[in-house]
Amino acid sequence: MEFEIWMLLGIPLFFALGWIAARVDIKQLLSESRTLPRGYFRGLNFLLNEQPDKAIDAFIDIVKLDPETVEMHFALGNLFRRRGEIERAIRVHQNLLSRPDLPADEKAHGQYELGMDYLKAGLLDRAEETFNLLLETSYGAQARRALLEIYQREKEWPRAIEAALGLQESGAGARQKEIAQFYCELAQDALVHMHTDDALALLDKALHADRKNVRATLLTGDAQLVKGDAEGALVTWRRVEQQSVPHVALVAQRLMDGYRKVGRPQEGVNLLRSYLAEASSIDLIEVVFKAVIELDGVDAAKQLMIEELRRNPTLLGLDKLLEARLMDAPADVWEELSMVKNLVRGYTQKLARYQCSHCGFKARQFYWQCPGCSRWETYPPRRTEELNVMN
């Protein structure tokens, strides 16, 4: 290719055009920055320096001087809500919604934020009313999630089921586990009032929603037992092993009581010992230990605990072994063993907790819904000491 002299002359021209474009961009940026209120930069600076009180004061000044600043209303309302100043957050969002010229999308946003204010304040009726207005807007999915939370708080399980189904249909993710738990809540209430047929129908819906729902299986067996079908209850409870092996600890006492009821306690002990060999659990050990003492004697119970401690050394297991030894300990060592057992028991009481895998909330009893974070099925069916040993 031959070199053309005009190409060399074009280089300064390209540099000049680039310089002009940059100057235009800088002038545009400076022009836009001058239109922003000075208080905006002051408030931003306070936020960056972790001075939220001064930032709020600066943003309030902006809203007073320029009521048209929609985004500033949202920012200010959220700041108030995070700080727990719910009344001020509500006033900010109500003031914004009172504007007749507010675009539809901004109005929906404002209603959603107002609904969240009501929810945070515990004004559930107002929150529900506000979120219902948003179901056919772009905030429909967020509104349904909030409504689902409200119905769970109020224990309105039929409406919670409806809201969860609405979320699924809107493409906001599967809610099968939650729906199954809602049916279980309804079934448990029916069982309390001795409406066993209604309970069984609800539990069938729960298992249709989530075939692996252990709670529904446990309650189905309970309902069958209430109706006098102990054999059917035993068959149902044994299905827990197919759903989740670790959860057999939760059904162990039911199984043992059921086998006693039908006159086959030894069969129950043998079944639970097979579960213990497959998935050791402190709760399962508790049930097996008592049954072995009752049917096979103290020596058999001691041997059981020695074998378990060899497989899974835990303080809770040691506590059971000491309990068995105390039952036939000679008088001269009984007091010493009792002191050791009391010392071990003091430590085990701190370890005998279930712990939510989401928020870490600890509890002495097993919960299907965490009291701390309200999530469903976040409690592993094992005590914290077992989880620490496994990890």
Amino acid, single-letter form, for residue 127: A
Closest by alpha carbon to 297, among 264, 317, 324? 324
Dig out the tokens for 355 from the structure.
Answer: 């712990």
Which amino acid, one-letter code, is at 309?
Answer: L
Q: How many residues does the chain have?
A: 391
CB 255 within 8 A of CB 289: no
The encoded tokens of residue 105 equal 């999308």
Q: Does 184 carry a binding-site annotation?
A: no
Residue type for 269, please?
Answer: V
Alpha carbon of residue 72 to chain centroid: 33
Q: Label residue 140 exposed, middle or buried (CB < 10 Å: 0-12, 13-18, 19+).
A: middle
Q: Which of 316, 328, 314, 323 is nearest to 341 (CA)?
A: 323
From CA 219, how far away is CA 199, in angstroms rounded?
A: 8
CB distance 151 to 159 below 8 Å: yes
Name the token pair of 53. 């009180």
- What single DSSP character describes residue 172? S
Q: What is the DSSP letter of 373?
A: T
d(CA 106, CA 365): 46
The answer to whether 71 touches 96, Cβ cutoff 8 Å, is no
Annotated binding site: 356, 359, 370, 373
Annotated binding site for Fe cation: 356, 359, 370, 373
